Structure 1
Amino acid sequence: MTSIKTLLQKFKARRELEYAFNVGGIYISKKNSGGKEIKRMPKIHEVTLFDDRTRYTFTLPNGYDPKEIDKKEYVFKQVFCRSLELKGDLKKYVLTVYKHKMTNEIKYNFCSIKGEIHEYKMPIYCGADRLGKNIIYDMSTKPHLLIAGETGSGKSTQLRQLLTTLILNFDPTELELYLGDCKKAEFHVFRNVKHVKASVTRAHEIKAMLEYIQDEMNQRYDLIETFGVAHIDDLPKEHKKPYMVVCIDEFVMLRKEKEIMAALIDLTALGRAAGIFVVLSMQRPVKEVLDTTIRSNLTVSMGFKVRDKIESRIINTPGAEDIQTPGRFYMNNNGKVDELQAPFLSLDECKKLLEPYLVAPDEAKEVSEGILQIDQQDELLGGWED
């Protein structure tokens, strides 16, 4: 039986939401025959109290533009606090107000997530939600990822920990990494790691790298067809293939390279069954680069702080333009958007974690100017092997 105390708490919570509707002008106003204003407020269907949050369910009155709710989300933040989530569509909305703010920093600790990520074939460690729960998803079922965020937002650190986590979790025989660093600033720390088969910076090098991966993908599909299976994981043991992850930072710089863009569309459309996954990152989301085809193939997106609503819409992470905390981001996972805090992994700590996985100096792969000769494919592929 509901206690008097709970009823009073619900009543107070309901009045706070009604106040938000009123001060925010979230209602339809009409005048009756006597000239008195009549306000049709959203209907509050349910107020649910939890130890750490309060959840409201309400519907808009017919005739109220749902776009106005997005514009007036700031009202709810002013009335309640900044720590809230508002989700809905045409008419029905759910507002969740949290009692505690999210932590502003999470230190990367592989040991703390090691047990959890082993449950996934291809684990992507995202960070923690507002309750401190680790959020991990399986890239084998949601194969391609887009990360966007301006300088200082935490995008680069997220890329660093994501790749480090994969390296720590997989043997080099199980995972191959192919890195394209258009800014020549992000992936140097991974250059001589055993898992890394290519770490390149120039457009013609990236083009050659993607051509090689496309050829590998075609060979894998030939095996899939030969053995009548649906995925390379189902191939006989003697034909097992390692997973391949292609990660290109600031790929917007390649927007004029039609062959590269076509190759990325090819890989994101067909790579999953072949065990090939794509991670793309950029500072400024550009609609002309992220066309409908590529966006539809990138099943998960992480939006760190971006410049405006236009950019946040391009990457399907509404609210990313309002982020104030470094490392904070919104993740769109097949339409479900969550606010998360990315783990922080410093460059020095990353180097320490990678030390056991570095190749010997005489085995180190060269990635300097001139190593990749597009017209010498045999030599090119040989240069990628450990």
Structure 2
Amino acid sequence: MLVALSAAAGVVLPESPAGLLLQASVGTAGGPLVAAWSIYVAVLLIRRRPPKPLRVLAYAILSLTWLLVLALREPNGGGMSGETLLGLLDAGFGRTGGLALISLLAAGALVGLIGLERILECVAFLGRQVHRLAPRRQSAYRRAPRTILSSPPAIAATPNDEPVILGPRSIVQETRPPKAPPPPKTVQPGTAWQRPENSILGTATDAASFSPAELKSRARIIEDTLASFNIQARVVEVQQGPAITQFGVDPAAGVPVSKIVSRQNDLALRLGAPTLRVLAPVPGRPMVGIEVPNTSVATVKLGDLMNAPQFNRARLPIGIGMDVSGKPVVADLTRMPHLLVAGATGSGKSVCINSLITSLLVTRTPDEVQFILIDPKQVEMSQYKGLPHLRLPVVTDMDKVVAALRWTVLEMERRYTRFSEVSARNIVAFNERFPSERFVYLVVVVDELADMMMTAAEDVERLICRLAQLGRAAGVHLVVATQRPSVDVLTGLIKANLPTRIAFAVSSQIDSRVILDRAGAERLLGRGDALYQAGDEMNPRRVQGAFASDEEIEAVCEYWRAQGTAQHSMEDEAELEDLARQDDPEEKLLAQARQIAFERDGQITPGYLARRLKIGLQKAARIHQTLVADEAAAQSQSDD
């Protein structure tokens, strides 16, 4: 303490004896050295900690290095101490060897004081700052931004190397639907059908979630975040969709794509996004897509898709929605040829089914397409009752579900029998050759597959697979939906025969793999956000599903009901009832019991029936009473 106070007095009073002694000992280095050691001693006193020997040694080595540097710069710069140290080094190691030795000692002391990890972090930080300040056009990895020929850019490439912002095209916010045109007067069945105008469905106005300035700011955040992890990449394109915005990232040469994928959680944190999906790479594009949710989800109205040219080219057009670039996604059901729709509760599955049905109702007449609607929930398809497009009444009774599928299989077989008689390969060839006997397309819509699989899994799986395998050429197409995408519902046979799939938001990656055979659906946002996997495409497309309100669906249904109600064939309904009776478990047991009674000449008891039929005693007693009543009725008729 006394030494420190004397040295401090020498610094403050340079003409004093202490100041002259300090000047002679350490030269001009006296001030900085005294200040550094005084601070170190003060910190030790405040913290009341004993000094660490290694830290004191490191400070001493750095102090001697400072004296040596001053002695080399100017005469008497390090005082007698500096001159003595310089002489010893010259005598022992030479000037070059001495300087090398003192440099190594100083470096070791610095590492001991600061720590190796902190030094490496500082070096990396300085490197990033130098890289950011360097001119972009002189960087080897930075290339000119690419533009998409099929998508006209909204902002052209600028000299300051900004990303190209595309769209949004027809990105919509829900508005009040226009007033539907009045339906035509009621006409008798058999007359020419009149399609409704596309204006019967509501449209929407364009609206973007982010401004161009916000998009550029987010692009810079992505670049800086990747650069902080030593990933050199640049955002070259921005596509704004209804629910998400896709940032096209062009990594530098030699940067693995997996490094960008592994940082998706860090990107979500920096962007403040609840979830984030990295598409590596974008199918058919030399870039990595980072899909960031918009602050507000724009509603895609079905009416905005009706004017797409795909609707005019398809035989059975259905509106799926809009992709990340705002392009309408329209599919042809005859090319699918069967569709699987799956997702968690509230993800938009039922809305998608209603949009698909409404698309066909607006664009096709009852002479072109007919429906078989299976609705175990009894409420999802109630608005379609009485439509002239219905081949059978809406099936809501679970006892008739298997019968409806069996009837569809019989109808398909009847068509193939007719095709073989005239050597027609499919429904298109038959309708061209025999326009007077033309067959209509038959679309079977199943709203909830899980309930059907719980009731009669074996029959449902077998019939659905048979329809899916043989139905395309006969004009029979399936649309199957479920909210429980598990392996016991979507079996391997069912999935193999439903190549086109739409996956809405699910709760786990396992459910996503059950639907799409890959992960991704667990990161969807819900409310219509979906992955559309076409049967002829390798990778799924992210779309925002089309929406048709209840008022619009009711307007379309009333339009068709005004032209004629459903004219179900009595033969078809009778055949359906007969098939339902054949599928009744009670009827099957009763038929087996009659056979047993015939074999034993009527000498049977409820216990014997229970053992033979492997059923409960109460049910066996009920069947026995039915047999006794039938025998009594037959005996009375014979007596009469």
User: Using the alignment, how far apart are the partners of 2:487 and 2:252 within structure 1?
Assistant: 33
Residue 530 of structure 2 corresponds to residue 329 of structure 1? yes
User: Using the alignment, how far apart are the partners of 2:313 and 2:503 within structure 1?
Assistant: 26
Give SS of 1:109's match. helix
Decide whether the 8 Å contact of 1:103 with 1:341 is kept in 2.
Answer: no
Partner of 1:245: 443
Deviation at 1:151, TM superposition (A): 2.5
Deviation at 1:277, TM superposition (A): 0.5
Matches within 5 A, 1:168-317: 168-198=362-392, 199-235=394-430, 236-238=433-435, 239-256=437-454, 257=456, 258-316=458-516
User: Using the alignment, how far apart are the partners of 1:123 and 1:315 within structure 2?
Assistant: 23
Decide whether the 8 Å contact of 2:280 with 2:288 is kept in 1.
Answer: yes
Residue 550 of structure 2 corresponds to residue 347 of structure 1? yes
Q: Greater share of strand residues, 1 or 2?
A: 1
Calculate the TM-score normalised by the size of structure 1.
Answer: 0.77
Give SS of 2:315's match. coil
Residue 289 of structure 2 corresponds to residue 96 of structure 1? yes
Partner of 1:27: none
Write the letter of the residue equivalent to 1:374: L
Partner of 1:356: 559
Cα RMSD between the aligned structures? 3.8
Deviation at 1:114, TM superposition (A): 6.6
Give SS of 2:313's match. coil
Identity level (%): 23
Decide whether the 8 Å contact of 2:399 with 2:580 is kept in 1.
Answer: no
Write the letter of the residue equivalent to 1:74: N
Partner of 2:330: 136
Decide whether the 8 Å contact of 1:86 with 1:94 is kept in 2.
Answer: no
Write the letter of the residue equivalent to 1:156: S
Write the letter of the residue equivalent to 2:474: A
User: Using the alignment, how far apart are the partners of 2:379 and 2:253 within structure 1?
Assistant: 48
Task: Name the structure, 1 or 2, with higher relative contact order (CA <8 Å, separation 6+).
Answer: 1
Partner of 2:200: none
Decide whether the 8 Å contact of 1:284 with 1:306 is kept in 2.
Answer: no
Measured at CA, do residues 365 and 155 of structure 1 come closer, stay the same or move farther in structure 2, by a change above 3 Å?
farther
Decide whether the 8 Å contact of 2:223 with 2:235 is kept in 1.
Answer: no
Partner of 2:172: none
Residue 159 of structure 2 corresponds to residue 5 of structure 1? yes
Partner of 1:20: 226
Matches within 5 A, 1:360-371: none
Decide whether the 8 Å contact of 1:84 with 1:95 is kept in 2.
Answer: no
Q: Pick from 368, 374, 379 the counterpart of residue 579 of structure 2.
A: 374
Question: Greater CA deviation, 125-134 or 51-60?
Answer: 51-60
User: Using the alignment, how far apart are the partners of 2:401 and 2:438 within structure 1?
Assistant: 26
Decide whether the 8 Å contact of 2:306 with 2:319 is kept in 1.
Answer: no
Write the letter of the residue equivalent to 1:237: F
Matches within 5 A, 1:27-46: none
Deviation at 1:179, TM superposition (A): 0.7
Measured at CA, do residues 365 and 186 of structure 1 come closer, stay the same or move farther in structure 2, by a change above 3 Å?
farther
User: Using the alignment, how far apart are the partners of 1:148 and 1:272 within structure 2?
Assistant: 22
Calculate the TM-score normalised by the size of structure 2.
Answer: 0.48
C-alpha distance after superposition, 1:160-208 (max 9, x if no partner): 1110111111110111100111111211111111101221022331111
Deviation at 1:115, TM superposition (A): 5.1
User: Using the alignment, how far apart are the partners of 2:566 and 2:490 within structure 1?
Assistant: 40
User: Using the alignment, how far apart are the partners of 1:230 and 1:365 within structure 2?
Assistant: 27
Deviation at 1:48, TM superposition (A): 4.0
Question: Greater CA deviation, 350-359 or 159-168?
Answer: 350-359
Decide whether the 8 Å contact of 1:191 with 1:365 is kept in 2.
Answer: no
Measured at CA, do residues 132 and 93 of structure 1 come closer, stay the same or move farther in structure 2, by a change above 3 Å?
closer
Q: Pick from 343, 358, 380 the counterpart of residue 149 of structure 1.
A: 343
Give SS of 1:267's match. helix
User: Using the alignment, how far apart are the partners of 2:272 and 2:288 within structure 1?
Assistant: 12
Deviation at 1:116, TM superposition (A): 3.8
Measured at CA, do residues 59 and 287 of structure 1 come closer, stay the same or move farther in structure 2, by a change above 3 Å?
farther
User: Using the alignment, how far apart are the partners of 1:320 and 1:200 within structure 2?
Assistant: 31
User: Using the alignment, how far apart are the partners of 2:418 and 2:493 within structure 1?
Assistant: 27
Measured at CA, do residues 145 and 8 of structure 1 come closer, stay the same or move farther in structure 2, by a change above 3 Å?
closer
Deviation at 1:145, TM superposition (A): 0.8
C-alpha distance after superposition, 1:107-138 (max 9, x if no partner): 33178437541211121210112222210011
User: Using the alignment, how far apart are the partners of 1:234 and 1:136 within structure 2?
Assistant: 25
Decide whether the 8 Å contact of 2:387 with 2:565 is kept in 1.
Answer: no
Deviation at 1:80, TM superposition (A): 5.5
Deviation at 1:79, TM superposition (A): 4.6
Give SS of 1:143's match. coil
Measured at CA, do residues 347 and 230 of structure 1 come closer, stay the same or move farther in structure 2, by a change above 3 Å?
same
Measured at CA, do residues 226 and 341 of structure 1 come closer, stay the same or move farther in structure 2, by a change above 3 Å?
same
Decide whether the 8 Å contact of 1:86 with 1:93 is kept in 2.
Answer: no
Write the letter of the residue equivalent to 1:293: L
User: Using the alignment, how far apart are the partners of 2:254 and 2:487 within structure 1?
Assistant: 34
Decide whether the 8 Å contact of 1:59 with 1:93 is kept in 2.
Answer: no
Partner of 1:33: none
C-alpha distance after superposition, 1:215-260 (max 9, x if no partner): 1111222233333343210112334211110011111111141112
Structure 2 spans left out of the alignment, 5+ residues: 1-142, 145-156, 165-216, 241-245, 583-640
Decide whether the 8 Å contact of 2:388 with 2:567 is kept in 1.
Answer: no
Structure number, greater radius of gyration: 2
**Equivalences, count:** 351
Question: Greater CA deviation, 104-113 or 191-200?
Answer: 104-113
